[in-house]
Structure 1
Amino acid sequence: MHRSIAMLSLCAVGLAPLAAHAQVVRSGAGTLADVTAIRDAFRADLGGGTVAGANGSFGGIRREINWDAVPDAFSAPNNLPANFFNANSPRGAVFATAGTGFQLSANAGVAPIAFDNIDPSYSSTFQAFSPQRLFTALGSNVVDVNFFVAGTSTAALVRGFGAIFSDVDLANTTSIQFFGPGSVSLGTFYAPSLVGSQSFSFLGVSWATPIVSRVRITNGNAALGAGVLDQNGNPVDLVVMDDFLYGEPVDARSVVPEPATLALVGGGFLALVGGTHRRRRRMV
């Protein structure tokens, strides 16, 4: 039997100073019931209630993606367009990866489930949190999520982001790195691990005001692929994603940064300029 882990922290060690400013971290691993409770606490942090509107909108305060209503034509063995959730279903999220694309697992009867189309062992490794689809990058274990005002090309900020992960076995491998305006890092946070197949983990971080321009999700330490196996005791940790939750994307130009944010962003800019000036002097 898996031992469940549940955790709430208000700060994390080794993060940039900005990450400690008005920040709440929700994380835990365990059974579906364990992780559902932590997910719901993060929902409350972001606000927006429990009833979804069009395009995963909760009261104009929070957005969610659970993948399950995506048409079969955009799931395995077919790829998911990177901008599906800003074009086909406008939710203000556009994906990027150094790999070859993105894929959702198929519904039963359409194609093999849980990415068995990639390797037949994966349905015994992964499990969907909200039945039935899962999400992964192809050819890479890293996914960037960039935020826009829903349905537009206008850059946006959100006040938090969280995700469900399936089968995080190794500690300090699966993470979410948050970035603010100007690509200033807000810190890297690690999803909790739980040895054993088909387990669930949740990680979500929120701030008091919209401050996040994008996130980088690192899933385990390897990309899915034929013959790439995830087993207990194996140094390869394969991880896929389920539900995404994030604050309503708001026009970045309309957000007035708090003084602490301005100081840190300004400090980063001055450090960059100073470093460039010093390098030029050395070159001369």
Structure 2
Amino acid sequence: MKLILGALSAVSLGLPSLAGATPIVRSVGGDSTPASITGVRDQFRVDLGGGTVAGPNGSFGGLRREINWDGVPDGSSAPNNLPGNFFNSNSPRGAEFSTPAPGTGVQVSANSGIAPVEFDNINPTYSSDFRVFSSQRLFTGVGSNVVDVSFFLPGTTTPALVSGFGSVFTDVDLTSSTKIEFFDAANASLGVFNVPVGTVDSESLSFLGVSFTEGAIISHVQITSGNTALGAGVNDGAPFGPDNVIDVVAMDDFIYAAPVPEPETYAMLLAGLGLIGAISRRRKASMN
């Protein structure tokens, strides 16, 4: 018992200060070939750890989780919305998704033969704009170009922290239109990081992954994909306001560090272990 308490105390007392958190940024804007971004994506995988062999529920070595959307059942993909907790309940990976108003949820694109691919169910021009990184599904917010990703201990409602998060994007055309903002457990921003523009006009791929040297300090991220939500008649490159054009962007693979308990959870565990230790000592004393 003393060894366990000592180890947990070191973890608890060793949690880093978030002031001046240091990010490691891996980003690249590529062409329409997955190979154009794979090298940088793999650098981010190395940053998080876990090797290359996938275990159950997208777990790599217990250090990293990945979602490529391709195993989502047809009934939970377009034209239907994906349940926001699908990847914490049905396939427990510790990630839940939501959209701010006027968003109405999130959606995964359909496989060929089930419904139009690459969100052509929303707008028949989108398969000419978007490209998949890992076949064959993509991911988007519905009614909003903003998606919030919150982390939990997989399969539970216990909030958790991760040390890094990254995503593949397709058809990023404008500088600063697509970004990820990271937040700590106190909901303070850890920084906003822009996704690089692709190197071709349509069907480009881009990647952005950010991890922090301080370890698991990210409680949730907010992803802004393009400058407007996907929609009927919302065509990429069309005029958007007096000085801009529409930039619609979809997402593919998510990669993030394995969720770990927040500091408060560690504190509760320590308190519980301390109580067990006290009860044990009392019992021993009463027996003497």
The TM-score normalised by the length of structure 1 is 0.81
- The residue identity in structure 2 corresponding to 1:213 is S
Q: What is the CA deviation profile of residues 120-149 of structure 1, one whole-angstrom value per residue up to 9, with x for unaligned ones? A: 100001011000000001000000000000
Q: Count matched residues.
A: 240
Counterpart position of 1:27 = 27
**1-structure distance, mates of 2:18, 2:29:** 26
Q: 2:207 aligns with which of 159, 183, 202?
A: 202
**2-structure distance, mates of 1:166, 1:19:** 33
What's the secondary structure of 1:38's corresponding residue? helix
Q: Do the aligned partners of residues 176 and 51 (structure 1) sit closer, same or farther apart at CA in structure 2, a change above 3 Å counting? A: same
Counterpart position of 2:247 = 237
Counterpart position of 1:100 = 104
Question: Cα distance, 1:232 vs. partner?
Answer: 7.8
Deviates more, 1:230-239 or 1:33-42: 230-239
CA RMSD of aligned residues (A): 1.7
The answer (yes or no) to whether the contact 2:159–2:262 under 8 Å persists in 1 is yes
The answer (yes or no) to whether the contact 1:125–1:167 under 8 Å persists in 2 is yes
Q: What is the CA deviation profile of residues 8-55 of structure 1, one whole-angstrom value per residue up to 9, with x for unaligned ones? A: xxxxxxxxx958533200000113212111100000000000011000
Q: Do the aligned partners of residues 136 and 19 (structure 1) sit closer, same or farther apart at CA in structure 2, a change above 3 Å counting? A: farther
Q: What is the CA deviation profile of residues 63-121 of structure 1, one whole-angstrom value per residue up to 9, with x for unaligned ones? A: 00000011111101111000000000000001110201111110000000000011110
Deviates more, 1:68-77 or 1:228-237: 228-237
What's the secondary structure of 1:189's corresponding residue? strand
Matches within 5 A, 1:239-254: 239-253=249-263
The answer (yes or no) to whether the contact 2:21–2:190 under 8 Å persists in 1 is no
Q: Do the aligned partners of residues 111 and 181 (structure 1) sit closer, same or farther apart at CA in structure 2, a change above 3 Å counting? A: same
The answer (yes or no) to whether the contact 1:143–1:218 under 8 Å persists in 2 is yes
What's the secondary structure of 1:169's corresponding residue? coil
Using the aligned pairs only, state the percent identity.
61
Counterpart position of 1:168 = 172
| 2:257 maps to 1:221 | no
- The residue identity in structure 2 corresponding to 1:217 is I
The answer (yes or no) to whether the contact 1:103–1:136 under 8 Å persists in 2 is yes
The answer (yes or no) to whether the contact 1:160–1:207 under 8 Å persists in 2 is yes
Q: Which runs of 4+ in 1 moved over 6 A?
A: none
| Structure 1 segments unaligned to the other structure (5+ residues) | 1-16, 257-284
**1-structure distance, mates of 2:107, 2:157:** 23
The answer (yes or no) to whether the contact 2:170–2:206 under 8 Å persists in 1 is yes
Question: Cα distance, 1:184 vs. partner?
Answer: 1.0
**2-structure distance, mates of 1:232, 1:163:** 26
| Structure 2 segments unaligned to the other structure (5+ residues) | 1-16, 268-288
Q: 1:144 aligns with which of 136, 139, 148?
A: 148
Question: Cα distance, 1:207 vs. partner?
Answer: 1.2
